[in-house]
Chain A
């Protein structure tokens, strides 16, 4: 049984494997490929044209075949199958029993370049990365037209091969960082990687890290800045964003797009984000601390107002706060899941709950509503969803500690968060490090 016959046998399991016989300058040829990946008609036309041209110029047969693509040296069924899955068209020349891999005209299976869907740009380039890895690299090449930009490609996995591409600007890149990442990728060649969690395992990060180890961005502009700061950018096939390593604390507050504004506004905006993070972490805890443990530190008028708003609320402030925080988290989560057409319903229902109803029912105080609304708004001021998740979590630590120790607990929580962040490193680069274009280490 020839390999082709074995493949034909497989075709009964895969309806999209297609076989086609044809004659190329007098030679019997059989073509095989996945019709779901390849535009057969266009590919055939292309091959015929090329062969016709080559024969007309009088090239010998070997060269004509060689011009079509690489000849598979020792073909096996498995090897041909994986080439087919990778999107190649296989030509079998019956007379000389040779298999040739041809780069076909593929079906357009990727989006065209569109504006970003999870990040907004006010003044700046609005084209975003797509699922196709080569388009993404192309976008970066357009942004960084520099000979020192190097692209390294890796194929990871045994069952399902995944292409991962590493980009760095060799003039400025932190060499230790690049070498460490390359070493990890080489070491874990066998690992199957389908998501960021698996990638994080492959790169040797701890599973239990609370801060994100990857900064991700849909914007070529951000990736460009990261490269110029000496960071490393990874692309994973079918992931429409750049994975930037290392992720640093300052990434939470700064985006490159800020630089489209005058310097003063840039600093003001960034300060606002820092302030937003502080509000988000501190305020729910502060409410719990002030209401249940330390009402004495407030001005008497304010303490009375708060107490008045809590008359009739039947449970301690910790339960009250946690209850409403959980509802808020649910709304956030649900609005990601829902299709856009039903989304407004959620907003409306959520608005009713968090509006007057929950207060009139004496379930929570109206001060808490204000505080939680402020928290949620502040939470969204952070750059990058992956960072806002971290902050959402830290908030609960502070709420619980505040319920036990009052304002002291608030401080304790803040101290814990600070010391945790100060202790996090990835590939020897501390989370608090500030990466400058010239690579000056500080912070």
Chain B
């Protein structure tokens, strides 16, 4: 069934979920001034990657990447997709662990971390086992429930902004693009290339019109901008770079007199966590889908099995430094997923098209 809107919605929501936590910190660490160049670079990378990916997909008639790769050969598909599988698992571990940490900091200072992570894992697995269509529909419900508070906070976060911090716009060093080798920048790619892979997995059960996904990707640019620039404009670079979750901190100090709650960050983080849960369950479903292509098992059993193993891994990560190490290792896998998978898809698509043309010509 054609569900373009649902797919576009899921694509946006999962990105929002990951943009506002680690990404601002990473970008602020990566560059001293002219962050917009970094943001724009990241965004352009995103556009290139996603557009070539969906272009490649659209050349085939409603098929998913796994089937496309399988056509090229069993072992080629295995070699191409095995890193994707590892990448998905790592992303899930990173998300569960880092958001668990964040929930502990913001809401539950006395609850043990494992309990929070257990909750996250259970929620994500519960949704993932119901399949992609349930995930898409949950996305719609969450859009209705969580988008109003999110937008409200996004607008109110400009309360303490000092536009002078925007300057200097052009600092010599930025245009040498030396920051792209910066570790923080590369880690920040989680928000750039985090969740788009799912677009290749949903077909043929769920079809979408690629044009609207392309439109939707433009909505991400202002979000990347707000995530990085609002903390910068509020605190200035030197203060903002000391904060662990700069954007959350900004929403913490926003003052709204008529609200019965002390901090607007409450609504914001809750909405973000909902989006992240969506993101995690999507990744979990992706991983389960890959496993199902190798061995035939029921979805629910494989989802719960993966969730359990990953939960154990999450618990065994001792502290934030280990997690950062994991994020860094995973960056290489992410670069692979961002460039090789869309590249191969597009190449295969073009080859397929040419062959098809020759056959009919």
Contacts and interface: CB of A to CB of B under 8 A. Distances in A.
Given A422-B130, A423-B130, A430-B133, A299 B107 contact: no
Contact of A411 (B259, B270, B281): B270
Nearest to A407: B107
A441 B108 contact: no
Dominant secondary structure of chain B at its interface with chain A: helix
B262 A297 contact: yes
A441 B137 contact: no
Contacts of B119: 405, 408-409, 412
A421 B144 CA distance: 14
A296 interface: yes
A443 to B, nearest CB: 7
B111 A432 contact: no
A432 B260 contact: no
A127 to B, nearest CB: 36
Contacts of A300: 262
B123 A412 contact: yes
A302 B262 CA distance: 9
Given A406-B107, A408-B103, A419 B145 contact: no
A419 B130 CA distance: 8
B260 A405 contact: no
B189 interface: no
Nearest to B128: A419
A293 B108 CA distance: 8
B114 to A, nearest CB: 13
A418 interface: yes
B126 A416 contact: yes
Contacts of B211: none
A415 to B, nearest CB: 5
B39 interface: no
Contacts, number: 92
B126 A432 contact: no
Contacts of B261: 297-299
A30 B182 CA distance: 104
Contacts of B259: 299
B266 interface: yes
B354 to A, nearest CB: 35
Contact of A405 (B5, B111, B130, B266): B111
The SS class assigned to the A binding surface is helix
A407 B277 contact: no
A410 B267 CA distance: 12
A414 interface: yes
Contact of B108 (A278, A405, A416, A419): A405
Contact of B107 (A408, A422, A423): A408
Interface string A290-322: 000110111110100000000000000000000
A180 to B, nearest CB: 17
Given A300-B262, A419-B126, A411 B273 contact: yes
A56 to B, nearest CB: 67
B103 A422 contact: no
A49 B257 CA distance: 87
Interface string B111-150: 1000110010001001100110111111011100100000
Interface string A403-443: 01111111110111011011100000010100000000111
Contacts of A406: 107-108, 111
A300 B133 CA distance: 43
Contacts of B142: 415, 418
B199 interface: no
B207 to A, nearest CB: 12
A422 B138 contact: yes
Contact of A408 (B1, B108, B134, B135): B108
A294 B107 CA distance: 7
Contacts of B131: 423
Contacts of B242: none
Interface in B263-292: 263, 266, 270, 273-274, 277, 281
Nearest to A409: B119
Among B115, B140, B141, B266, which residue has the most Cβ atoms of chain A within 10 A?
B141
Nearest to A414: B145
B260 A302 contact: yes
A278 B148 CA distance: 14
Nearest to A421: B141
A416 B278 CA distance: 11
A270 to B, nearest CB: 13
A407 B262 contact: no
Nearest to B141: A418
Contact of B270 (A298, A302, A404, A407): A407
26 contacts: A294-B107, A296-B262, A298-B260, A299-B259, A299-B260, A300-B262, A405-B116, A408-B103, A408-B116, A408-B273, A410-B270, A411-B274, A416-B123, A418-B145, A419-B126, A419-B127, A419-B130, A419-B281, A421-B137, A422-B138, A422-B140, A423-B131, A430-B133, A430-B137, A432-B140, A432-B141
Smallest CB-CB A-B distances: 9 pairs: A423-B130, A422-B137, A419-B127, A423-B134, A422-B138, A418-B141, A422-B134, A419-B138, A411-B270
Interface of B: 1, 5, 103, 107-108, 111, 115-116, 119, 123, 126-127, 130-131, 133-138, 140-142, 145, 259-263, 266, 270, 273-274, 277, 281
Given A299-B262, A410-B270, 5 more contacts: A299-B261, A405-B116, A418-B145, A419-B138, A442-B5
